[in-house]
Amino acid sequence: MRFVRINILFILLSVLLPLSGTAAERETPVVKAVARARRAVVNIRTEQIVRRSSSPFGFGDSLFEQFFRELLPPSSMTSQSLGSGVIIDAQGHVLTNAHVIAKASKIFVALPDRSEEIEARLVGADERLDLAVLQIRQKGRWPYLSPARSDDLMLGETVIAIGNPLGLGHSITTGIVSSVARRIELEEGFSSLFIQSDALINPGNSGGPLININGELIGINTAIARQAQGIGFSIPINTAKRVLRELIDYGQVRTSYLGILPGEVGASFVAKNGGRGVLLVDFLAESPARKAGLQIADVIQAVNGISVADINELNAQLAGYPPGSKIELLLQRGLKKLRYKVELTLLSDARLMAYTRRIFGLTFVERPGGLQVASVENKSAAARAGIEPGDRVVEVARRKVGDLDGLRRLMAALIGQEPLSFLVVRDNRGYLLQLPQD
């Protein structure tokens, strides 16, 4: 009987042990990829100082409230937000989303293998691309994950989204790639391209890395569509690599200059060519496009293989290429398809103001009361609309502007788009005008 019992025990163990498997047998490619990347994924906690000028007595807009507001100093409160990021070099540069650190007065990062938080500083950010670079203030050699490449992604490829949402552990989701260049409109008139997968992204792991099955950094996760079910979006790492040096050296991505005046293609062109594009109406001063050999009436249909349907999509594509970048434009010239290499240059203030003067007929000056019209060109669109020197400009394209720097940033993003709405104030009366008018 004892022999029989031993045999039964042996049989049971031989059946059950293979079901559990050894650690080596359970170490799948996903497990290996996460192990390679996890130490470089950080939690990001920010503090924002929100100042309040009201008194603590809650009198509303009464005379009492105004009286106490003058006597008491402004109060403030601290709000916090959480996100993720990934260390991309041994010096402690952290790549994350711009919205994760927006309006932060202090930034802290927490690494998986450390119990304490470490302060970081903002190096540079670009809100339109939703990318930011931080620098860990503490000296040391940090675990990192070098940016790889995203231009060889395959549909159906397995990807892994990693976050560190609470600083206590990792959030890991897996999925497959369903689009390598999904165009999403982030705001009116501006869209961007994303990797789309079903690896879920939430605000806590926004800013963390998207990796492939080899554990390579191929994207930065971003929570841009919280209402979407089962869909995740990530900024391609190739986009981040192109602008990384700009963010570190200049604190922002400087605007590139193609130097064209765009127009819309007609319905007959769409019918004949099966698509849309950007019609080249004229060249601006010192145009890189003209230098490269483009001609008036050319239709730009793609930038580096990504199709563009209108000036908004063209500008969105160019936003990811800093000055000095070389791009390939696919053109339709008559019945021919042509490809031209163009080296983009910097959109300087002088070029931008020359464009504003040529298209709208306006120059601006910054005054204590805000942004004012300095001069109006004779017979220009502004002159025909009745704008006069001294008028105050409050909004352009329904976005508030208060100084020259803000106007330059806005106009750089809107270059080539027309007409634009201008909210002009004169004698305490507002006038909403479209320039140039038909």
Task: Name residue 400's beta-bridge partners.
Answer: 395
How many residues belong to the chain?
Answer: 438
Neighbour tally for 125: CB within 10 Å: 22
CA 404 – CA 435 distance, rounded (Å): 19
Buried b (16+ CB within 10 A) or exposed e, 259-294: bbbbbebeeebeeeeeebbbbbeebbeebbbbebeb
Tokens linked to 275: 């698509």
Judge contact between 20 and 14, C-beta under 8 A.
no
Is 99 part of the annotated catalytic residue set?
A: yes
Terminus-to-terminus CA distance in the chain, angstroms? Answer: 103
SS3 (DSSP) at 32: helix
Residue 106 neighbours by CB under 8 Å, 6+ apart: 46, 47, 119
Give the Cα separation of 398 and 410 in Å (integer): 11
- Pull the structure tokens for residue 241: 């690599």
Q: Is 130 a known active-site residue?
A: yes
Contact 392, 424 (CB under 8 A): yes
The beta strands (E) that lie in 145-288 are given as 158-163, 171-187, 190-197, 209-212, 217-222, 232-236, 256-257, 260-264, 278-283
Q: How far apart are CA 254 and CA 206, in angstroms?
A: 24
Task: Please confirm, yes or no, whether 405 is among the known catalytic residues.
Answer: no
Radius of gyration of the chain (CA): 27
CA 211 to chain centre: 19
**Interatomic CA distance for residues 14 and 285, integer angstroms:** 81
Catalytic annotation, pick one of 84, 93, 99, 192: 99
Tokens encoding 422: 């201008």
From the list 93, 126, 130, 310, the catalytic residue is 130
293 torsion bin: left (phi>0), alpha (psi -120 to 50), beta (else): left
Q: Which of 206, 256, 287, 380 is catalytic?
A: 206
Joined tokens for residue 201: 């992204």
Q: How far apart are CA 264 and CA 205, in angstroms?
A: 40
> How far are the Cα atoms of 81, 158, 321 from residue 84, in angstroms, in the given order?
11, 21, 25
Residues annotated catalytic, as ranges = 99, 130, 206
